[in-house]
């Protein structure tokens, strides 16, 4: 793509994710919020965190495009490195994981992850914006331009560290409120929950590898030399 076209695309994607994140954060309900909902607000949900992650990523991408357009190449180089690291380690794996895991669990038993009571609170279009559209957006980003991936060990360590932080956040919320962020977790014994978290980590690592594979298959090695 031309830089001007990329800048337009990244700007529109940033506005889209900002709008979706804003819409989610301002959902209103007539029911009084539970202690679980109050503690940590919506920052406890991976879906919501991913929306803000995507907004940050596309904001950084737009900034990189603008710097290239105005010929600030030295600054652009630094921003592009940050953009590529953010996309490879977090933006693509997390959005892919959110979409796959949500719809898999929703199909199996939606009450475990998205109770029917939410249908009256969250519009259908917003549900798909949060859980469906994130994956095509991630794929489109790979098709739009090449991204330099870090060394495999570095990338997986960073991804694993972020996953550890989120799991720690979920466990902390349970220790404070006595309730799980997702009803699904209540079904597991401690060892079963540990196995579930380990399996989830394996899936998100697979998402990372999938993104790296697509990036290299589409763009090859020449774009990075």
In a domain, 86, yes or no: yes
Q: What's the structural domain count of the chain?
A: 1
- From 82, 29, 80, 19, select the one nearest 51 (Cα to Cα): 19
In a domain, 79, yes or no: yes
Tens of pLDDT, residue by residue over 51-92, are 999 999 999 999 999 998 887 778 889 999 999 999 999 999
In a domain, 224, yes or no: no
Q: How far apart are CA 204 and CA 39, in angstroms?
A: 26
Confidence of residue 36 (pLDDT cuts 50, 70, 90): very low
Q: Are 93 and 135 in contact (CB under 8 A)?
A: no
In a domain, 97, yes or no: yes
In a domain, 225, yes or no: no
**pLDDT recorded at residue 37:** 59
- From 138, 38, 152, 60, select the one nearest 95 (Cα to Cα): 138
Tokens representing 168? 């720690």
Structural domain range at position 58: 3-25+33-219
**pLDDT recorded at residue 73:** 75
In a domain, 50, yes or no: yes
In a domain, 18, yes or no: yes
Average pLDDT for 180-187: 90
Helices (H), 29-91: 35-38, 46-69, 73-86
Lowest mean pLDDT: which of 12-21, 40-49, 215-224? 215-224
Confidence of residue 144 (pLDDT cuts 50, 70, 90): very high
In a domain, 203, yes or no: yes
């Amino acid at each position: 793509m031309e830089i001007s076209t990329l800048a337009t695309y990244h700007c529109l994607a940033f506005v889209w994710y900002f709008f979706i994140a804003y819409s989610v954060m301002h959902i209103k309900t007539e029911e009084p919020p539970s202690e679980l909902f109050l503690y940590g607000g919506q920052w406890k949900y991976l879906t919501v965190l991913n929306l803000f992650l995507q907004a940050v990523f596309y904001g950084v991408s737009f900034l990189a495009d603008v710097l290239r357009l105005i010929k600030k190449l030295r600054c652009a180089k630094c921003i592009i490195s940050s953009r590529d690291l953010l996309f490879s380690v977090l933006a693509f794996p997390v959005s892919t994981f959110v979409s796959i895991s949500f719809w898999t669990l929703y199909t199996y038993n939606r009450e475990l992850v998205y109770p029917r009571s939410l249908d009256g609170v969250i519009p259908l279009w917003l549900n798909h914006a949060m859980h469906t559209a994130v994956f095509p957006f991630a794929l489109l980003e790979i098709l739009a331009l090449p991204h330099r991936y870090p060394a495999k060990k570095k990338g997986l360590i960073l991804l694993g560290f972020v996953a550890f932080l989120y799991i720690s956040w979920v466990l902390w919320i349970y220790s404070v409120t006595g309730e799980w962020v997702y009803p699904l977790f209540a079904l597991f014994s401690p060892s079963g929950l540990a196995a579930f978290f380990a399996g989830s980590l394996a899936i998100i690592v697979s998402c990372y590898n999938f993104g790296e594979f697509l990036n290299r298959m589409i763009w090859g090695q020449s774009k990075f030399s």
